[in-house]
Structure 1
Amino acid sequence: MSNKIVPTISSGTPGPLGVLHLPRFWQKLSLGAAGKLAEDYPACGQGYDQMVLDGLGLDKQALLDFVAEKKPTYIQFEKFVSENATKLNQTAVSQLNAAITGYQHTDETRQSILSSVGLPDGNPTDAVNLNNLDDWQGFHAAEIA
């Protein structure tokens, strides 16, 4: 078993604020701050993480510092987000959620993920579900196999 953890909360999962990816982002930031995030995962990457920061108008460093210093529960994390986001409104959340669900990996990435999990080229095609498969495969490899 690994002492590093593969995050398995889907980017397609919202919390009470209704923001997709936010629970996963909290999990990755929390694991990263604790030194427990699997090496292949950035605590705050350029994909969905950056989309959330930009889409909600959050200061990256303030968020990183808050998680590192306070080690918040998810609800405490959402409270920080709601108090510090400059664009937290229904329009911004809807646009962000649409961008997350609509994101597509390159064909090369899609084929690589499908191949690594033992599926033929085809479905799923969206990045959220492909990432889920990739996470579950990584979890299995690190913790079960």
Structure 2
Amino acid sequence: MISSGVAGPLGVLHLPRLWQKASLEAVGKLHPDYPGCGKGYDQMVLDGLGIDREEFLAYIKSSKPSYVQLESWVLSKKGGSLDQAAVKKLNDAIKGYIHDDGTRASICSSAGRPDDGSIKDAVNLNNLDDWATFYSAELK
């Protein structure tokens, strides 16, 4: 999986990951542990961009766009440009999101890492979770 901490040329964090997950789900290739478009970061991105969830998913399913095509579609929905203050607010919210203690402990445990409290942000905890899931499903 692409990390939530990655942005494409538009500068929107998590949008590449959302595109990847929704695209994989649209063709039946997404790992069952992942939602194609969940209620957390996925919905935060759609809300932050002012994009309707069902319209986004229908576009992914019907058009199967490349990432560049998706960004062009987003821009077309926004009149050719994004509100940079809104993008910054969204990116700050993504970078600043902290999982609860139970989620952090569970992710660390599954990844085989002591929960010493040093990793608090959801982006890095989600990365650990992705890597542990990949390792368990693909390399063991």
Report TM bin, short chain.
over 0.9
Structure 2 unaligned spans of 5+: none
What is the letter of the counterpart of residue 60 of structure 1? R
Query: What is the CA-CA distance between 1:31 and the residue it aligns to?
Result: 0.2
- Supply the RMSD in Å over aligned alpha carbons: 1.2
What is the letter of the counterpart of residue 136 of structure 1? W
Q: What percentage of aligned pairs have identical amino acids?
A: 60
Query: What is the CA-CA distance between 1:120 and the residue it aligns to?
Result: 1.2
Aligned positions, number: 138
Once residues 118 and 65 of structure 2 are traced to their aligned partners in structure 1, the CA distance between those partners, rounded to angstroms, is 36
Counterparts in 2 of 1:37-56, with a 5 A limit? Answer: 37-56=30-49
Query: What is the CA-CA distance between 1:85 and the residue it aligns to?
Result: 3.9
What is the letter of the counterpart of residue 123 of structure 1? S
Q: Secondary structure of the residue that 1:13 maps to in structure 2?
A: coil
Q: 1:58 aligns with which of 48, 51, 57?
A: 51
Q: 1:16 aligns with which of 4, 9, 17?
A: 9
Please state if 1:110 is matched with 2:75: no
Q: TM-score, normalised by structure 2?
A: 0.95
Once residues 12 and 85 of structure 1 are traced to their aligned partners in structure 2, the CA distance between those partners, rounded to angstroms, is 23
Once residues 73 and 64 of structure 2 are traced to their aligned partners in structure 1, the CA distance between those partners, rounded to angstroms, is 12
Please state if 1:141 is matched with 2:115: no
Query: What is the CA-CA distance between 1:50 and the residue it aligns to?
Result: 0.4
Once residues 120 and 139 of structure 1 are traced to their aligned partners in structure 2, the CA distance between those partners, rounded to angstroms, is 19
Partner of 2:68: 75
Q: TM-score, normalised by structure 1?
A: 0.92
Larger RCO: Structure 1 or Structure 2 (Cα < 8 Å, ≥ 6 residues apart)? 1
